[in-house]
Amino acid sequence: MSVFRKKEVSSIQTEAENSKYKRDLTAFDLINVGVGGIIGAGIFVLTGIAARDHAGPAIVISYLIAGFVSSLASLCYAELASSIPVSGSAYAFTYIAIGELAAWIVGWDLMLEYLVGGAAVASALSNLIGSIQSNMNKLTGGTWVFDPRYMNAPLIWLEAGSELPWDSSTVLESGSFLLNKVEIAKDEWVGAYCNAPAFILTLCATYLLLKGIKETASVNNIFVITKLLVVVLVIVVGFFYIDTANYTPYVPESTGQYGKFGFSGIIVGATTVFFAYIGFDSVSTVAQESKNPGRDLPIGIIGSLSVCTVLYILVSVVITGMVPYQEIEEAALSAAFEVNGLPALGLIIAVGGFVGLGSVLLNLMIGQPRIFQSMAGDGLFAPAFAKISKTGGTPHIATMTTGIFTAICSALFPVDFLGHLTSIGTLLAFVIVSIDVMILRYTQPDLPRKFKIGGPEWFGGYFIPGLSALCSGTLIFTSTWSAVLRVAIWMALGLVIYLFYGYRHSKLATK
Ligand code: ALA
């Protein structure tokens, strides 16, 4: 059947050789692209939410679980990126391994990771701005605050059984979208207008991306160094403020509600903080801008994830030791220093977090247009998305479209809503990439692989990728059902678009 038509590796390699991208990025730049894409809203904002609401101090175990799942997937990405070094990432791998329909599904799904993920991160920037402002007020004795109506999403989703934040006597019988309200004075709640900083900062990021990849990489390198220093500062200074009494109980007793403490809390914590690991795969989207992709992509992918995994585990040990888990705030890292009487450090950490989120936003917004560009080049998307600008050497139309959609989503929806969609979308891509590895080991055993998952063939070619698919798939189903359903609806919409557009315009079909 023609929906299973596949691309040849040789055609992909010719495509990469004829690419109009500038090959500027070194192995070091690629590790930075990875770290730039990884450390962000997950560690700075979601750690706090997950520890307080789901896992308690055992959030460290959640980080270990999510890190394990991500490491398995990173090996699969590294193997495929070293043998198919083109910018389409999971989409391109799947086009060769399984065929067009599966590739379209992955490409459409990746919009959740990159475009919706970018919106989640942009939306979390407001939390960091709030933390900067509160630390500043503590230091200066000031009382100035931003108008919360312009700092919050106007739409929220509440699960069945949740209380309305502005009216604790009302418990929702079923999950629902609601118009959000914010507290402007004690017990005075008014409707939120939009997340204005998210909208504006996303448009600024779009402008920078249009200037070109090397310019973006230079800014990114500065951002990455800043956030790494801040994370190390949290670990080193925070270590001296650990009170081991905060580790008891290590796994708080379950409240009886699924995902609230106990074992199920650790698992839901893992699904929540999985967001923190997303981003290493964005290294494979800049394959065509890398000087030596076969060698450097695996270094970038595995190197960046390893650095971040170690840092995350240490940060979560420190933060849960500094503050009793019930009192951890959303901007957890800066707030931990604020409550320990160190507002100056709290301020530095909040500013570092802000910069960190900025770099994640840039990285996710680098990835999406390159996937659009790849899909458009294959005829599955409108041809305008394949154009590369002569001045910046970037896919400018795809970049502008990404920027506008990301900005709108970030202005309208809150971080947890967007974060769940992103995590499920990414996990789905991980499942398919793991399957790609197994299929290609079987169908194309002689494909040159500069990086190969080690061990005997049954282990590296099948056991590790199989385990990776199983673990990522399991994490999908530990998320909320409403989020899984939304992803299913998104994928169904994608299928309809493929049948009416991509199927007919595909270059493979019209050849
Ligand atoms: N891992 C990225 C973050 O935490 C997406 O912001």
Pocket lining: 308 vs ligand 1, CB cutoff 6 Å: no
Q: Report the alpha-carbon distance of residue 171 to residue 158 in Å, rounded.
A: 10
- Asked if pLDDT for residue 340 goes beyond 90, the answer is yes
Tens digits of residue pLDDT in 419-434: 889 999 999 999 999 9
Pocket lining: 276 vs ligand 1, CB cutoff 6 Å: yes
Tell me how many degrees the CA angle 70-293-209 measures, rounded to the nearest 5. 80
Strand intervals (E) in 262-352:
none
Reading the block at residue 20, the tokens are 């109009």
Cα(350) to centroid(ligand 1), Å: 16
Pocket lining: 425 vs ligand 1, CB cutoff 6 Å: no
- For the CA of 117, the nearest atom of ligand 1: 5
- For the CA of 40, the nearest atom of ligand 1: 6
What pLDDT, on the 0 to 100 scale, is given for residue 165?
A: 83
Of 89-93, 313-317, 474-478, give the range with the top mean pLDDT.
313-317
Residues 6+ apart with CB under 8 A from 264: 254, 258
Q: Which residue has the tokens 């699969």?
A: 76
Cα(41) to centroid(ligand 1), Å: 5
Q: What percentage of the chain exceeds 90 in pLDDT?
A: 55
Pocket lining: 275 vs ligand 1, CB cutoff 6 Å: yes
What pLDDT, on the 0 to 100 scale, is given for residue 511?
A: 64
Cα(38) to centroid(ligand 1), Å: 5
Categorize the per-residue pLDDT at 16 as very low, low, confident or very high, splitting at 50, 70 and 90. Answer: low
- Asked if pLDDT for residue 489 goes beyond 90, the answer is yes
What is the best residue among 38, 126, 280, 285 to mutate for testing ligand 1's pocket, by most ligand atoms within 8 Å of CB? 38
- Asked if pLDDT for residue 213 goes beyond 70, the answer is no
Tens digits of residue pLDDT in 360-385: 998 888 888 888 888 898 899 888 88
Pocket lining: 194 vs ligand 1, CB cutoff 6 Å: no
Whole-structure pTM value: 0.91
To the nearest 10°, the Cα dihedral for 171, 175, 178, 182? 50
Pocket lining: 278 vs ligand 1, CB cutoff 6 Å: yes
List helix spans (H) across 240-280. 262-277
Report which of residues 4 and 264 the model is more confident about.
Answer: 264
Residue 369 region, left (φ>0) first, then alpha (ψ -120 to 50), else beta? alpha
Q: What percentage of the chain exceeds 70 in pLDDT?
A: 97
Atom 5 of ligand 1, nearest CA residue = 278
- Asked if pLDDT for residue 473 goes beyond 70, the answer is yes
Provide the mean pLDDT of the chain.
Answer: 89
- Evaluate whether 81 touches 284 at the Cβ level (below 8 Å): yes
- Asked if pLDDT for residue 487 goes beyond 70, the answer is yes
Backbone angles phi, psi at 151, to 5 degrees: -115, 0
Residues 6+ apart with CB under 8 A from 290: 23, 25, 26, 29, 30, 85, 296, 297, 300
Atom 3 of ligand 1, nearest CA residue = 40
Tens digits of residue pLDDT in 388-404: 887 777 888 999 999 99
Pocket lining: 261 vs ligand 1, CB cutoff 6 Å: no
**DSSP state, residue 290:** B
